Chain A
Amino acid sequence: MEATTLIARPSLLRRIFSTDHRTIARQYFFLSLFAVVVGVCLSLLMRFHLVWPREKVAWFEAIWSVRAEGGIMTEELYLSLMTLHGTIMVFFVLTLAPLNAFANLVLPEQLGGKEMAFPRMNMLSFWITVASFLTLLSACVFDEGGPIAGWTAYPPLSAVGAVSGPGEGLGQTLWFVSIGIFCIASLLSAMNIISTVIECRRPGMSLMQMPLTSWNWFVTSILSVLSFPVLLAAGLLILLDRLAGTSFFVPGDLLIAEQHSPHAGGSPLLWQHLFWFFGHPEVYIAILPGMGIVSHIISNFSRRAPFSYRACVWAPVAIAFLGMLVWGHHMFISGISPYSAMTFSLITMSIGAPSAVLVLNWLGTAYQAVKLEFTTAMLFCMGFVSLFVTGGLTGLFLGQPEIDAYFHDTAFVVAHFHMIMGMAALFAVFAATFYWFPLMFGRMLDERLGKLHFYLTFIGAYALFLPMHFAGFAGNPRRYADFTNFDFFQAGMPLQRWITVTAFAMGAVQLIFIGNLFRSIFSGAKAGANPWNGPTLEWNADAEIADRGPYEYPDAGADAN
């Protein structure tokens, strides 16, 4: 009997609770995939309700017997869908997929190692994330349905308990518990990534020889360590307000549903400060890994080193640093001092500088390409650049207190962050999926289906979110469940219907990706060892790295900077 046959196949339990970084990467990937499917379905239901609020749908009642009695969605149900959509997309899709899934997949090999610094902690952080996700879903099952306070959970609505509305009892409490658990999981994961980068690099590999993806995961993890504890602390305080009757965030003399609130002296503004001290860096936690992925893939398919490797390293560092200082721009109309607003505004505007450096680098790399290859991954990167520029430019409007006074809480804000934080970050995830699929499953994704998916999604992203900006210009507020009650909004209803129809079309287009993904997992073309001729160590485990940059292409003769 040969020796190899003596090695027993691991039990199912050991494979599920694996400490192998690639297995954990796949687990994160599929968790994010499930979360994004749920999140998109929720958004489609919301869009449906916005334009056909009194339409009877029989299965609504079958699912939500109380909140959709007679098959008509209530406004509270709309708000709970909105809360769940925002929470799932921000935490379980945009935080997990670009960072945890792909960093776990390739970070150790990119650094010339074999495994993350703490494999068991890696496994633990994934399963804590699962616990957090299940807790979040359970928030919508118990009580009178899901919480309705939105993903920002502003008090007093979120802090006074069931009296403030259906779903604000146990549902909202479970929401906070879920987010607390997620914070712990993210901290463990960040700790692991930082330790891996500092300590598990191959001998001879300096920090400035790391691929740009590794750099961005490293910087993102530092942001996580600095921002998630603040959300954890704020969550603890608000839970005490809810459960123990303290008054950290709830002011006095509140009359809610004809009941006098027992709280006194708290400040909702304090929550906003703490929340956005986490919340704004969270935006960069979502987008910085995407920047690294795009820098990396554009370089690969341009067959040359990034236009300036150093600029691609330091620009995200600058963005992360400045991103920690701009939380106040979410509170321009919350009553902060005009001097503070001006300071926050100036710092916000300054983020445009390193962002522009990155955009010029991406374009410069492609412009000076030795050989430009428009693979699906490359197309999604180009799409990312486009969406990043568009979303970034609309951010300049919102970063100015005078203009934000008009745009705040309108559809313009929704369009802005969906463009830059939603679509751009997802384009990076699509690019990464096409690029590293061979490492994930040993096969190739279908390029023709991929390109079809890209073109339709790219057109769809603009068709969906560009008109949403116009809705914001017209004064359509966000978080309104029903526009039909107001004459003022009637002129904008055709636009709203267009957005809804486009959203459903975009949802349908994503089925191409899902189909391509599962078909390729089982019957895609077998991948070679290095199908993209990538220069970094996840493709070339035994390559020498001494005295060479991470993006030296032997056939290009380009400098590694």
Chain B
Amino acid sequence: MPTLTEPSIGAPPPIVPSPPRGYGGGDHNDNTGDSKAAASATTVRIAVYIGMCASTMTFAALASAMVVRRGLNPMDWHKLPVPPLLWWNTAALVLSSVVLAMAGRAFRAGLRPRLRILWFTGTALGTWFLIGQAINWKFLADQGFYLRENPASAFFYVLTWAHAAHVIGAIAGLYYVTWCLLARPFAPLNRNVLEVSVIFWHFLDVMWLFLMAIFAFWS
């Protein structure tokens, strides 16, 4: 039964005795020019949190630009209809987040069959969200709301594209774990991917709810 043992956040890595080395300015770790030490689960998680901060700043910049642009020139701001499918998409994303959180619990409990079912379901819902977004873009284009049509539609496209770009990256992680669950023994590296995929997926979920609130109630 696979178990996950991780050092707590902030715990330092174990002491590794330094190999004898000269101050020749050469490669530091070995003479292959490569460093092979794999990052710990905690380190990977910290990196994902930092990445989430960077993504938050990107979305904050875009959302601020939207607020300022509308405030500076409200005359050319034409409200965009919220496509009905967008609500279903939102539901799918929230549900996928819940299911993936349950999958994470199953993983930690070592319940492999349950993990598989939950993970495949969460991944399928995430994929549905992405496909649904594409359908929404086509729906709006059919209604005559193009990128350059008015600033409200321009910001809608930009924000949803930026979110979808993040989702594509996250889904790649979900599919990688899916492939590992189906085809390979569960290696330590894959546990890292699983953990951070779930964390990042929750982040995208929260970010989407923020964007949805803007589209539905403000924009």
Chain A contacts to B: CB under 8 angstroms: 7, 9-10, 14-15, 18-23, 26, 113-119, 121, 187, 190-192, 194-195, 198-205, 225-230, 232-234, 236-237, 240, 244-248, 264-267, 269-270, 273-274, 277, 438-443, 527-529, 541-542
Within 8 Å by CB of A118, from B29, B47, B154, B162, lies B47
Not counting A204-B12, A229-B58, A442-B22, a sample of 9 additional A-B residue pairs whose C-beta atoms are within 8 angstroms of each other reads: A113-B13, A115-B35, A200-B12, A200-B43, A227-B57, A229-B54, A233-B58, A237-B158, A265-B151
For B65, the chain A residues whose CB sits under 8 A away are: 233-234, 237, 248, 270, 274
Q: How far is the CA of A529 from the CA of B33 in the complex (A)?
A: 21
Stretch at the interface among B72-80, B86-94, B135-143, B179-187: B72-80
Q: Is the CB of A199 within 8 A of B43?
A: yes
For B10, the chain A residues whose CB sits under 8 A away are: 198-199
Q: How far is the CA of A326 from the CA of B154 in the complex (A)?
A: 29
Q: How far is the CA of A203 from the CA of B13 in the complex (A)?
A: 7
Q: Smallest CB-CB separation from B58: which chain A residue?
A: A229
Within 8 Å by CB of A115, from B29, B53, B57, lies B29
Q: State how many angstroms separate the Cβ of B50 from the closest Cβ of chain A.
A: 5
Q: Smallest CB-CB separation from B77: which chain A residue?
A: A265
For B158, the chain A residues whose CB sits under 8 A away are: 236-237, 240
Chain B contacts to A: CB under 8 angstroms: 10, 12-16, 18, 21-29, 31-35, 37, 39-40, 42-43, 46-47, 50-51, 53-55, 57-62, 64-65, 68-69, 72-73, 75-76, 147-148, 151, 154, 158, 162
Q: Is the CB of A10 within 8 A of B50?
A: no
With A10-B31, A19-B35 as known contacts, state yes or no: A265 contacts B53, CB within 8 Å: no
For B62, the chain A residues whose CB sits under 8 A away are: 233, 237
Q: Is the CB of B58 within 8 A of A230?
A: yes
Q: Smallest CB-CB separation from A122: which chain B residue?
A: B35
Q: Smallest CB-CB separation from A202: which chain B residue?
A: B12
Q: Is the CB of A114 within 8 A of B57?
A: no
For B37, the chain A residues whose CB sits under 8 A away are: 114-115, 119
Q: Is the CB of A267 within 8 A of B147?
A: no
With A265-B151, A274-B61 as known contacts, state yes or no: A19 contacts B34, CB within 8 Å: yes
Q: Is the CB of B50 within 8 A of A195?
A: yes
Q: List 24 A-B contacts (CB under 8 A).
A: A18-B34, A19-B34, A19-B35, A20-B35, A114-B28, A115-B29, A115-B37, A117-B43, A199-B10, A202-B15, A203-B13, A225-B50, A226-B53, A234-B65, A237-B62, A240-B154, A244-B148, A247-B148, A247-B151, A248-B69, A248-B151, A277-B61, A439-B23, A528-B23
